[in-house]
Amino acid sequence: MTRERHGRGGRRAPARAVDYVRLRNPFRPQAVFSDDEVAGLHAAALDVLERLGMRILLPEARALLRGAGALVDEAGETVRIGREIVEAALAAAPRRVRLRAANPARERDYAEGETLFSAGAGCPNASDAARGRRPGRLADYEEALVLQQSFDAIHKHGPSVEPQDVPAHLRHYAMMRGQMVLGDKPMFVYARGRRQVAECFEMIRLGLDLSEDDWGRGVWASTVINTNSPRQLDVPMAEGVIDFARAGQLSVITPFCLMGAMAPVTVAGALVLQHAEALACIALAQTARPGAPVSYGGFGSNVDMRSGAPAFGTAEQVRMQLGTGQLARLIGLPFRSAAGSAANLADAQGATENLMGLWGALLSGATLCIHAAGWLEGGLAFGYEKFVTDMEAVETLAELCQPLAADPAIEAIAEVAPGGHFFAAAHTMARYATAFRAPLVADLSNHGAWAEAGGLGAAERATAEWRRRLAETPRPAQSAAAAERLAPYIEARSRAGGAPPSD
């Protein structure tokens, strides 16, 4: 895909032949445990499921698993899941899923070796330098979608900001509409109750004008299934697993295991818990519909033991990522990982924390890295400037995924005398305009020029960048038609009272 890049002054640089959409991971996955140790963690997780079990609050889910042979304690709502159930589920789960999108050029395979990034998500607040920090509004949710759409290296949409100004029983209408009117990438649906999920699916069919066959055979939506660690799955999440499985849509299973809080204080212990919970959800999905698309995954880090505050970008997070990758390869499923930051600002702390998680995702072999850009305050705020400064890093990693020529260029070396320079060499002149990625907000000018231009930090420069993107990003091709097709549905459903966020 050819893209045009803009200089900071709005100058248009020549198009570079880079493809930030179809990224393949260029690195070999890294290990933190030996193969034997990983097998031991897997065995321990099976043991946890078999002996201790999982508390699953939805009776239908317990019944499904009982049907598959699990031992259910209805009084304690606890399900003990034997390893043969897990093994059957892993045998049934697909290794490769095609994520469909409004724009076919945005479709991606969800599989080992593929690399997808998505923006910071699930934030109740939005924050930018121009307008300050505020509770998330629909306008912020929609702006974040435009920002996601404006970067090829963001590969699927996600709910960056919670639109709290839209009543909860109508919010899913606005959130689905936004994704189809402002973006054209694979979409996200919250598992917030059966009626909302069913209506979101219906909106995708309507908005993208899909035939029953198109819908039924394609993965058009994904959701994130968070367990209520330790060892608990609540009602809407269990419903989500079942409903997404039955509709053939993707569940991205994500225990959120903070070491020392919701998980054991050690990496290995937290991984065992995460793995057990993920396997339980995968088993539930495959019991609901064998072959249902599921992603293994996890989001683990540690808490600061002095304050109990979640920490991100730590060595523990990176080790959790790498260990998760080892377990994913052991069970043969693609998985999601996450970056993110506890910082309150798009500062050096925020950049360091997030980039540790980005590298951890890449080196673990994660297929999807969620919260790759913009996640401030441990997810409590989506930062516009943070999104831009993080995208500088994401695009740099996307560059690392581009093909690299091995031509030794001896003719260029021969062309320049010892002690000379290559600025004017023919080899340079033929390539200079498109050789390198132009930075988004990195300022490479010397101290004098930089100080004279105001001495701004990267976060300050980022304000102009997100403003420009909000102003200049075109609506996707299907935008108007989708809006038109969705309007009567949303109006009718809203008039009928909407749908509450859980049953």
Inter-residue contact 342 to 309 (CB < 8 Å)? yes
Instruction: Copy the structure tokens of residue 95.
Output: 């290794």
- Cis geometry, peptide bond prior to residue 230 (ω within 30 degrees of 0): yes
Q: Is residue 356 within the footprint of its own copies (CB under 8 A)?
A: yes
Contact pattern for its own copies over residues 298 through 317, marking x by CB under 8 A? ----x-xxxxxxxx-xxxx-
Inter-residue contact 346 to 355 (CB < 8 Å)? no
Q: Is residue 12 within the footprint of its own copies (CB under 8 A)?
A: no
Q: Cα–Cα–Cα angle for 337, 338, 339, nearest 5°?
A: 145
Q: In the chain, what is the greatest distance between 2 CA atoms, to the nearest angstrom?
A: 84
Contact pattern for its own copies over residues 178 through 217, marking x by CB under 8 A? ----------------------------------------
Segment interacting with its own copies, rule: CB under 8 A, options 151-159, 288-296, 411-419, 463-471 = 411-419
Nearest approach, Cβ of residue 85 and its own copies (Å)? 18
Count of alpha carbons within 13 angstroms of residue 151, beta-carbon side: 29
Residue 463 to residue 143: CA distance in whole angstroms: 13
Q: Is residue 404 within the footprint of its own copies (CB under 8 A)?
A: yes
Inter-residue contact 321 to 354 (CB < 8 Å)? no
Applying CB under 8 A, among 132, 408, 474, 497 the residue interacting with its own copies is: 408
Say which residues have a Cβ less than 8 Å from residue 83's Cβ, sequence separation at least 6: 46, 49, 50
Residue 391 to residue 368: CA distance in whole angstroms: 15
Applying CB under 8 A, among 147, 250, 261, 366 the residue interacting with its own copies is: 261
Nearer to its own copies, 405 or 471 (CB): 405
Q: Is residue 256 within the footprint of its own copies (CB under 8 A)?
A: no
Contact pattern for its own copies over residues 319 through 338, marking x by CB under 8 A? x-------------------
Nearest approach, Cβ of residue 455 and its own copies (Å)? 7
Applying CB under 8 A, among 16, 80, 347, 494 the residue interacting with its own copies is: 347
Interface positions, 423-462, toward its own copies (CB under 8 A): 423, 425, 427-428, 431-433, 435-439, 441-447, 450-451, 455, 457-459
CA distance readout (Å), 136 to 128, 196, 328: 12, 20, 34
Nearest approach, Cβ of residue 13 and its own copies (Å)? 7
Q: Is residue 2 within the footprint of its own copies (CB under 8 A)?
A: no
Inter-residue contact 323 to 41 (CB < 8 Å)? yes
Segment interacting with its own copies, rule: CB under 8 A, options 22-30, 105-113, 194-202, 366-374 = 22-30
Q: Is residue 75 within the footprint of its own copies (CB under 8 A)?
A: no
Q: Is residue 105 within the footprint of its own copies (CB under 8 A)?
A: no
**What is the signed CA dihedral for 150, 151, 154, 158, rounded to 10 degrees?**
-20
Instruction: Copy the structure tokens of residue 223.
Output: 């959701």
Helices (H) and strands (E) in the chain, counts: 17, 22
Applying CB under 8 A, among 177, 231, 336, 371 the residue interacting with its own copies is: 231
Applying CB under 8 A, among 121, 180, 250, 393 the residue interacting with its own copies is: 393
Q: How many residues does the chain have?
A: 503
Q: Is residue 123 within the footprint of its own copies (CB under 8 A)?
A: no
Backbone region of residue 122 per phi and psi (left: phi > 0; alpha: psi in -120 to 50; beta: other values): left
Q: Is residue 500 within the footprint of its own copies (CB under 8 A)?
A: no
Q: Is residue 54 within the footprint of its own copies (CB under 8 A)?
A: yes
Contact pattern for its own copies over residues 144 through 183, marking x by CB under 8 A? ----------------------------------------
Calculate the CA 255 to chain-centre distance.
14
Segment interacting with its own copies, rule: CB under 8 A, options 163-171, 289-297, 392-400, 465-473 = 392-400
Beta bridge partners of 294: 251
Nearer to its own copies, 13 or 480 (CB): 13
Nearer to its own copies, 87 or 234 (CB): 234
Count of residues touching its own copies (by CB under 8 A): 128
Residue 267 to residue 33: CA distance in whole angstroms: 11
**What is the signed CA dihedral for 346, 179, 483, 383, rounded to 10 degrees?**
-10
Please give the order of strands across the beta sheet that includes 250-253. 23-24, 114-117, 368-370, 335-338, 294-297, 250-253, 221-225, 187-188
Segment interacting with its own copies, rule: CB under 8 A, options 58-66, 102-110, 212-220, 374-382 = 374-382
